[in-house]
Amino acid sequence: MRIGVPKEIKVHEYRVGLLPASVREAVAHGHEVLVEMGAAERQGFLDEDFKKAGGRIVESAEEVFEQADLIVKVKEPQPAEIDMLRQGQVLFTYLHLAPDRAQTEGLLNSGATAIAYETVTDGRGRLPLLSPMSEVAGRMSVQVGAHCLEMEQGGQGMLLGGVAGVPPAKVVVLGGGIAGSSAVRTAVGLEANVTCIDVRIERLYELDQMFGAALDTVYATRHAVEEYVTGADLVIGAALQPGASAPRIISRDLVRKMKRGSVIVDISIDQGGISETSRPTTHAQPTYVEEGVVHYCVTNMPGAVARTSTQALNNATLPFVLALADLGVVPALRADPHLRDGLNIYEGTVTCRAVAEALKMPWHDAATAIGA
């Protein structure tokens, strides 16, 4: 199979679908890999590195999309990329379609097959291709949140871990999954006062066992959310509903009750965000102030640490890329129900129930659509 790796064009996105080590594996399996010139240059991986791995460098994204059967990316396709997709071509990347009708309609009209990293599952119901970036975003959320608390960023001028004689900041993490627990780990390490709120008792028990007295765990009720959010200096939104829009946990009225100069870091923004006041931002302009609260809502947070993020992502995605290329797309989807969970768009239909429900579009069962 001919695999294509274009350079990402989203603002300040420096990750890449396949690194040289992954290209080498694909070539060893008998596949041809086309890589757009300069695709990973900002990470320190040069075109020569891809050539040594057996890849072929092409000058433009147009060449990649025109020649490749399988397109491997990181972020959702931008409008110019959607225009280059064609009938029968396969796109394997993060999509986050639930809050994005325009992208969904563009993919449906393209005739391409779109498989989303974020809805691929494993035998335990986990999201193995989302987890690496959730871990990165969770750890980053505390770093950027601490920065946003500084006066020059619009924050209240608080040091996250405090100092002798001065108490630390209060950090509230909404959601205890991979992103949330990673945020907790970093915040605890910086000696903040940390609380994690989740609706799953069993998960709160696990977190309690992991962090002990360094973490307060709270069962999620409206009362608890209001009490802890209004008292927080830094709120991290890490709630997830696989494939669907993120739950709106924080209302505008609740934001108004928060401390002036406090901070919301909304990791869930790529699925619509957990706050009514959240709206997507970029690394070029990552923050804004609304209702007196600093909001950080960058939709591709891990792109800021592209080298770490790409390596972690490739570790998770490579086996699926090889399966798609080795077996062929439809046979691979038929053979692996967990990969099939990633199928969001097929032959002009929505095959992910959560996306269809979020956008009020017709849904077609993925297994039926591919004849599994």
pLDDT in tens, 160-195: 999 999 999 999 999 999 999 999 999 999 999 999
How many CA atoms within 13 Å lie on the side-chain side of 164? 0
Q: What are φ and ψ of residue 326, in 5° steps?
A: -70, -45
Does 292 lie in the same domain as 143? Answer: yes
Residues 277-309 pLDDT 10s: 999 999 999 999 999 999 999 999 999 999 999
In this structure, what token pair is assigned to residue 5? 């790796």
Please report whether residue 125 resides in a domain: no
Give me the pLDDT at residue 240, please.
85
Does 277 lie in the same domain as 141? Answer: yes
The DSSP secondary-structure symbol of 176 reads: -
User: Which of 58, 6, 2, 53 is CA-nearest to residue 30?
Assistant: 2
Give me the pLDDT at residue 216, please.
98
Range of the domain at 204: 133-299
Query: Among the three residues 271, 299, 327, which one is the final residue of a domain in this structure?
Result: 299
Which residues are catalytically annotated?
96, 270
Give me the pLDDT at residue 246, please.
87
pTM exceeding the 0.85 threshold for the entire prediction = yes
Could you tell me what percent of the chain has a pLDDT over 70? 100
* CATH number of residue 281's parent domain: 3.40.50.720
Residues 81-118 pLDDT 10s: 999 999 999 999 999 999 999 999 999 999 999 999 99
Q: Using the predicted structure, report yes or no on whether residue 38 has a pLDDT greater than 90.
A: yes
Does 218 lie in the same domain as 82? Answer: no
Please report whether residue 126 resides in a domain: no
Q: What angle do CA 135, 12, 239 make, to 5 degrees?
A: 30
Residue 372: pLDDT band with limits 50, 70, 90: confident
Residues 293-350 pLDDT 10s: 999 999 999 999 999 999 999 999 999 999 999 999 999 999 999 999 999 999 999 9
Query: Among the three residues 299, 326, 349, which one is the final residue of a domain in this structure?
Result: 299
Strand ranges inside the chain, DSSP E: 2-5, 32-36, 56-58, 70-72, 90-93, 113-116, 170-174, 193-198, 215-219, 234-237, 263-266, 287-290, 293-296, 343-346, 349-350
